[in-house]
Structure 1
């Protein structure tokens, strides 16, 4: 079992609201569903849980599980 960091969605996309913004814990890049991801050609309105399995941080190439939910 791998340890997860506090604030993580623990790999369970159902724990994330569709409009939740998530921040990479490595480089602080924020994935905002309202904006999508131009680098990976992800359309605006795409929830984090709906990103393709191969998606990685467009800034530092970190894994999806390196993202944590941003509390607004």
Structure 2
């Protein structure tokens, strides 16, 4: 079974990028943390935008 490629998500408000492969250890998100595994009440660490207002981006 092949693992799905990691994706990158971008905040619509400030442009912050969340890369699943890198995670965001400063926010308590270990490398490899999938977007679906981040709690729904999580907000952008730079501007406070809700998780729902992020879009998946192709880098």
TM tier relative to shorter chain: 0.7 to 0.9
Q: CA offset at residue 30 of structure 1? A: 0.3
**Could you list the runs of 5+ residues in structure 2 that have no partner in the other structure?**
none
Deviation for aligned residue 1:52:
1.9
Structure number having the greater strand percentage: 2
Could you state the TM-score of these two structures normalised by the residue count of structure 1? 0.68
- The total of aligned residue pairs comes to 56
Distance 1:66 1:18, change over 3 A: farther
Partner of 2:57: 70
C-alpha distance in structure 2 between counterparts of 1:63 and 1:54, whole Å: 7
Counterpart in the other structure of 2:44 = 57
Runs of 4+ in 1 over 4 A off after TM superposition: none
Structure 2 SS opposite 1:54: coil
SS of 1:22's partner is: strand
> Taking structure 2 as the reference length, what is the TM-score of the superposition?
0.80
Q: d(CA) in 1 for partners of 2:26 and 2:47?
A: 12
Unaligned runs of 5+ in 1: 1-16
